[in-house]
Amino acid sequence: MINIYLLHAFQRENVGWASTCNTVGQTAGYFLGYVVFLALESQDFCVNYLGQSGSLVTLSGFLYFWGIVFCITTTLVWIFKHEEPASQEEQEEGLLGTYKVLSHILKKSTIQRFIAVLLTCKIGFAAADSLTALKLTEIGVPKDRLALLSIPIMPVQIFLPFYISRYTAGPRPLDSFVLGYPLRLVFGLVFAGIVWVAPLFRLGDGSFPFLFYGLIVGVYLIHQVFVNCMFVGLMGFHARISDTSVGGTYMTLLNTFTNLGGNWPSWMALRYVSELTWTSCLGTAMKSDVVSCASDHEKELCEEGGGSCVTWLDGYYVESVVLVIVGFLWMRWGLPTIRRLQDLPASAWAVSQRTD
């Protein structure tokens, strides 16, 4: 429904601004649903920064509150927002008609090439996006502190899309995607470097100084510039090529493949990081040699025998380097393909005979 509304809320020449609404809305929702919740649910944050005796919210209470807000807001939209009656053609389309339209869209060679781009373009970012925060938490950085680092970044994430949209609202929205792609790849190695040096910043009591958190915020701020360049440009292109004669079906299909293209590489990175990690048990006094700490059971056996697990090669660094290399190799095919697709006329994407 949001995709349909965004396509019809703007004039055709301004439809690129739909990506700005999409980006800002998702950022604000992430902030309220994740950062605010972790802060108010954290006893440490509430005691040290808000002067409370304990956490202010629970998961059940948080969900209950926003459930009520959702019911109220959707009811107000239903009461005060009036739309024009659907045309006879739209009324007759139905569920089967929608899937028929999808089949027509998927048969287009331009869409097939673009879907191939969407499904593969984020392979190079998988380790940085899905594993960095987990590795920092594993090293000892509190997860609520990591969440709170989003607070100084949030204004940038909200206002940056407005600036980027000055370039993506035009006829070539993917230029910002092409510009931001290699720079975002480089930051995959930068994040790996931060994880590498993180133990050097750890204080005697296990905490980390403000300098370390400032380093993370600074790097993440720059990283978000390239992330937003890619995301806003991609969403702007979706809005530009989507055939409004089929409502939001076209744009929803593209967004679905975009999300899938980000999720499956992250799953693969999470799935195989432990198998790429080489560990061993040193100093055990057990008669039965425990040479590996690959599983939790082996770690317990090692510790019971008086030994300690040592990591010789961390799979996170292996994936960070390998996937960044894969990303740069992908650029040789992906970026020229993106430029060619962007140069195609609107008629190459239309499902109907319309070419506006």
What is the predicted pLDDT for the residue at 5?
A: 56
Helix (H) or strand (E) holding 90: helix 88-106
DSSP state of 35: I
Burial 244-253 (b: 16+ CB within 10 A, else e): bbbbbbbbbb
Res 114: pLDDT: 96
What is the domain partition of the chain in residue ranges? 2-41+104-274+315-348, 278-313
Which of 32-41, 244-253, 298-307 holds the top average pLDDT?
32-41
- pLDDT-derived band at 342 (thresholds 50, 70, 90) equals very high
In the block, which residue shows the tokens 């899937």? 99
* CA dist list (Å): 335 to 119, 165, 182, 282: 14, 20, 10, 48
Residue 273 confidence (pLDDT): 92
Residue 301 has pLDDT above 90, yes or no: no
pLDDT at 86 over 60: no
Which carries the bigger pLDDT value, residue 15 or residue 199?
A: 199
Between 163 and 88, name the one with better pLDDT. 163
192 has pLDDT over 90: yes
The residue behind tokens 């590996």 is 292
Given a cut of 70, whether residue 18 has pLDDT beyond it is no
pLDDT of residue 287: 47
The model's pTM: 0.78
Mean pLDDT, to the nearest integer, of 34-58? 81
How many residues does the structure list for the chain?
A: 356
> Does residue 283 carry a pLDDT above 80?
no
Structure token digits, residue 45: 């944050």
Q: Is the pLDDT of residue 355 over 50?
A: no
pLDDT tens per residue across span 255-272: 899 999 999 999 999 999
Q: What is the mean pLDDT of residues 127-149?
A: 88
278-282 and 308-313 strand pairing: antiparallel
pLDDT at 88: 54
Rounded CA separation 282/38 (Å)? 38
